[in-house]
Amino acid sequence: MKKNYLIFAIVLLSNFILSGQEPASFVIVENPGGATLGYSPASGIKVITKDNLTFKDLNRNGKLDPYEDWRLPVKTRAADLAKRMSAEQIAGLMLYSAHQAIPAMAAGFGGGTYNGKPLQESGARAWDLTDDQKKFLKDDHLRHVLITTVQTPETAAKWNNAMQAYVEGLGLGIPGNTSSDPRHSANSNAEFNAGAGGAISLWPRELGLAASFDPELVKTFGAIASTEYRALGITTALSPQIDLGSEPRWYRISMTFGEGSQLLTDIARAYVDGFQTSEGAREIKDGWGFHSVNAMVKHWPGGGPEEGGRDGHWAFGKFAVYPGANLNEHLRPFTEGAFKLHGQTKEASAVMPYYTVSYNQAADGSNYGNGFSSYIITDLLRKQYNYDGVVCTDWGITWDEGATPDVFAGKPWGVEKLSVAERHYKVIEAGVDQFGGNNDKGPVIEAYQMGVKEHGKTYMRKRFEQSATRLLTNIFRLGLFENPYLNPQETSRIVGNPAFMKAGYEAQLKSVVLLKNEGKTLPASGRKTVFIPKIYKPASKNWWGIWTESALDYPVNIETVKRYYDVTADPNQADFALVFVSSPQSEHGGYSLSDRKKGGNGYVPVSLQYNPYVATEAREHSIAWGDPVVDPAVTDRSYRNKSTRTANAADLDVLLRTKEMMGDKAVIAVVDVSNPMIFNEFEKDMSAIVVHFGSTTQAILDIVSGNYEPSGLLPFQMPANMTAVEKQFEDVSYDMECHKDAEGHLYDFGYGLNWQGVIQDARTAKYKPVRQGERI
């Protein structure tokens, strides 16, 4: 007893002296050879001793209960705590919050108040809890929080400490489990990279990691990212997105690792191993520990085969289709990758189903959104593949949908006519444990009562405890019950440190793909003069429906370019031109309300070319349809013979006009690629083409200038034309006619150049495309 408290006093005093600041709001107790405890005196809990060891009395009953005993197996502790929880407390544990910014914005997405006022008017600190956070943590018993932007890493650590101290004093003392969508991309966009605002190591997007064709690199990323996550207080990653990118028009293919199922399977395994594994002194048990982050793999059973490339966030994209009968290929990254790890943690700790209806895939003949489907969750995932980890819905599937198919709202696909509470009950009955984006325990309690009425209290109590045990297991094995607190100064030292930044930068270099190099245009070494045209960006709506202003500006930081070359605004004075553009961004996501109002069905093509596109080769009739609430009259989603445009069509004008201005001098296209794209509109006019997937300007220029040799490979095919796109099957990889350039090179999966020519190495041999039906 005295020995423990002596160590406690030394550790606490050292923290005060080293920080040079006021004493921390939590204290540390070390058990020699055992768990280190951290707790907040303000929470009201105390420590108790047994066998000359110290434990936290989380429920403040003066005795050591099994869930408080860090010596016991995690499963034993989780099951004990689940039995002590009320139905209301378990309902709260089954919630996953809406997106939280730290600090909260004054209004809109990520908005919140402090004592009823915006942060700037409240006198609150950036790391204080918002009014809503206090409510859902206390009144709704919520313990899983999704954060987006953070002001600084130190602010994130202080918010973590404030949140953990708050919940430690409530009920049974269950700590918070904070999560994040991917936040390491070198450029940030939309919801999925909303966390990229803080200082953190910068890596290419997922497609860029895939372009390295190096699972070990991805494992290294996971190990570094998890270390930074834990320093920020993040203990669950809502990643990786291991959907097989078999449908080139799907806009979320940009967040996948491409269309190669074997490469994706190996990357999925490496990613999860990297995130979940702790080693050495940081390990607690079985590979789990203080560097571990739960990986929530998504989206079961694969969100890639969206009909026509439309996305399930909207009613117009609710269906995934399988014209090639290829569902099993979409399962491989999960069943052979994320569920069969090389590390001790064995399998990904959580799974997220996608919004979509996996059309006509359920053996029982039903067509429900995946999160509502007993076949997809219980029969396929849990029984056939023996998965007993946490299953969490994607965000907002139980909310009501919008007034028209293009409104961003709830995604209750297949159960549109049910009430909100009935949808919660159907999710629970399907075998799901948690509700993404729901801060309110009310509908979960209603669902519980429905279950009691149908099956009896004993059945529903057992069902709730089953989910509670799964959810608590993921919190226990990270050590959060013992010490959830952070040293903000240590956080600042860890997050974005030089070694991590260097690793991320090297990954960016490895992700750049050289597609064309006519006459060995590259590398452009030496102090040359370059012309870089400005790019016009039209006004556009972002993910949340907010319009951005149009702009005409340089697409890159010119000061960065000047470190490599002299820059001129006169093409006549330039040695060569660099044209920075983005892959074509289809004006519509596959639906046009104006078309519907004019008497059409509302469905329009998704284009991968810059020029206007007319879908003369599209299917005469769609595979799937059905909007029983918002538009029941539409029974065919075909868009045949309809047209669409590209929002950034001006990029093509800039490419071609620059070639005209430069005459016989070299023009190098640098394309930030989100989707497969049509190159036949401009490829023949370019001397060289470089593509990247979210790398910094510096990384691109290090390749272009010859400081580094390109080694990246295409993670998906580049189609010859839109006819090839229309003829391919949404669920099948490698089934498009590929673009052939002026030098006879096919822009196929795994293609790329280095300074010597086409890359042929161990990577291209191992991950050579295997067409449908060829794999044994």
pLDDT digits (tens, 9 = 90+) for 474-483: 999 999 999 9
Average pLDDT over residues 43-62: 96
Q: In 10 A of CB 348, how many CB atoms? A: 29
CA distance 291 to 647: 43
Residue 162 CA, chain-centre distance (Å), reads 26
Rounded Cα distance between 682 and 659, Å, is 10
Mean pLDDT computed over 540-558: 79
User: Stretch 397-423: mean pLDDT, rounded?
Assistant: 97
Q: Around Cβ 79, how many Cβ atoms within 10 Å?
A: 18
pLDDT confidence tier of residue 668, bands split at 50, 70 and 90: very high
Q: In sequence order, which residues have a C-beta less than 8 Å from that of residue 149 and are 6 or more positions away? A: 101, 102, 110, 194, 195, 197, 198
Instruction: List, in order, residues 6 or more apart from 527 with CB less than 8 Å away.
Output: 565, 566
Q: How far apart are CA 540 and CA 548, in angstroms?
A: 5
User: DSSP H helical segments within 193-285, as ranges?
Assistant: 206-211, 215-232, 261-276
Query: Is 15 a residue whose pLDDT tops 90?
Result: no
What local confidence, expressed as pLDDT, does residue 536 receive?
84
- Closest by CA position to 211, among listed 719, 763, 718: 763
| Token pair 């203080």 in the structure block, residue | 290
Residue 417 confidence (pLDDT) above 50: yes
Query: What local confidence, expressed as pLDDT, does residue 19 receive?
Result: 35
Distances in whole angstroms, Cα of residue 181 to Cα of each of 82, 96, 295, 481, 742: 28, 13, 11, 23, 41
- Do 553 and 674 form a contact (C-beta atoms < 8 A)? no
Is residue 744 pLDDT above 60, yes or no? yes
What spatial distance separates the first Cα and last Cα of the chain, rounded to whole Å? 63
Model confidence, pTM = 0.95
Q: Please give the Cα distance from 697 to 559 (Å, whole number).
A: 11
Residue 194 pLDDT greater than 60, yes or no: no
- Give the phi and the psi of residue 231 in degrees, each rounded to 5: -65, -25
Q: How confident is the model at residue 269 (pLDDT cuts 50, 70, 90)?
A: very high
**Residue among 282, 295, 147 at smallest CA distance from 221:** 295
Contacts of 633 (CB under 8 A, 6+ apart): none
User: Which tokens hold the place of 576?
Assistant: 């060569």
Confidence tier at 773 by pLDDT (50, 70, 90): low
Mean of all residue pLDDT scores within the chain: 93
Give the total residue count for the chain: 776
Quick check: 16 pLDDT over 50?
A: no
The predicted-structure confidence for 61-104, as pLDDT tens digits, reads as follows 999 999 999 999 999 999 999 999 999 999 999 999 999 999 99
Percent above pLDDT 70 for the chain: 94
- For β-strands 688-692 and 753-754, DSSP reports them as unpaired
Q: What is the mean pLDDT of residues 584-596?
A: 95
* Confidence class for position 23, pLDDT limits 50, 70, 90: very low
**CB-based burial label for 11 (10 Å; 0-12, 13-18, 19+):** middle
Residue ranges of the alpha helices (H) in 73-214? 74-84, 87-93, 119-122, 131-138, 153-168, 206-211
Q: Distance (Å, rounded) from C-alpha 259 to C-alpha 513? A: 16
**Alpha carbons 651 and 581: distance in angstroms, whole number:** 6
Q: Report the pLDDT value the prediction gives residue 372, as an integer from 0 to 100.
A: 98
Phi, psi (rounded to 5 degrees) for 120: -65, -20
pLDDT classification of 165: cutoffs 50, 70, 90: very high
Read off the pLDDT of residues 624-651 as tens digits, 9 standing for 90 and up.
999 999 999 999 999 999 999 999 999 9
214: confidence class by pLDDT, cuts 50, 70, 90: very high
Residue whose structure tokens are 């423990």: 4
The angle, 0 to 180 degrees and rounded to 10, between the axes of the packed helices 153-168 and 215-232 is: 60
Confidence at 538, pLDDT banded by 50, 70, 90: confident
Residue 291: its pLDDT value, please?
97
Average pLDDT of the segment spanning 538-558? 79
Pairing of strands 144-150, 99-102: parallel
Q: Which of 175-189, 236-250, 297-311 has the lowest mean pLDDT?
A: 175-189
Packing angle of the helix pair 215-232, 261-276 (nearest 10 deg): 30
What is the predicted pLDDT for the residue at 478?
98
Phi, psi dihedrals of residue 305, rounded to the nearest 5°: -85, 55
Residue 706 has pLDDT above 80, yes or no: yes
3-state helix vs strand vs coil in the chain, percent to 5:
35, 15, 50
Element (H, E) at 576: strand 576-582
In this predicted structure, the answer to whether residue 437 has a pLDDT above a threshold of 60 is: yes
The three-point CA angle 264-268-273 to 5° equals 150
Backbone angles phi and psi of 526, in degrees to 5: 90, 175
Is 50 exceeded by the pLDDT of residue 190?
Answer: no
